[in-house]
Amino acid sequence: MTLAALFCVALARPTRFWSEAVVLLVLVGLPTSVPAIVYRTGPARAFAVGFLVFTLGFLAALISRERLFRDPGGRASDQFLSSHLGTWLFAKIHPNNDQPATSMTGLGMSIGFDSGTGSTITMVPGSGMTMTLPKYDRARFMEIVHAGCALLAGIAGGLLTQLLHATRKREP
């Protein structure tokens, strides 16, 4: 339950601290499973093997799908299932993510453009410049979603291998 609460807080406030904390959980969980595989037996070893294999499998699939296969513009694709989940969750959890930043008057320009960081700058003659910045970074949110999905895949793999270990036929 504590792990679920941690992910809920991280998704509600996707800051640098929370994304790095959640990624750290994955980075600590993976090498920790190796000594469990070596020094444990029975169900504990089975869980550690499943956790390691499924977590690494998820991360390898994520990297190959999102990072290696890029769209023609050179950007990472958004085709992996956890990416779709993250995009949908971000829109549901943070629907009004833009917030006004500053206003300047007297510039006299009429230009609208995207600054590339998710902010929109609109300049209207006589009214000044209005800039909106995102409250939370979508990339940090996606890091949290991907790390959470990797841990879920590892836990599901660990439980599956424990079940397979418990139901195997014992040879005399």
Q: Which pLDDT score is estimated for 165?
A: 94
The ranges of the chain with pLDDT < 70 are 67-78, 99-132, 172
Q: CA of 165: how far to CAs of 44, 52, 80, 154, in Å?
A: 10, 16, 30, 16
DSSP state of 121: E
Q: End-to-end alpha-carbon separation of the chain, Å?
A: 40
Q: Rounded to two decimals, what is the model's pTM?
A: 0.73
Tokens of 8: 């809920």
Q: Which pLDDT score is estimated for 153?
A: 95
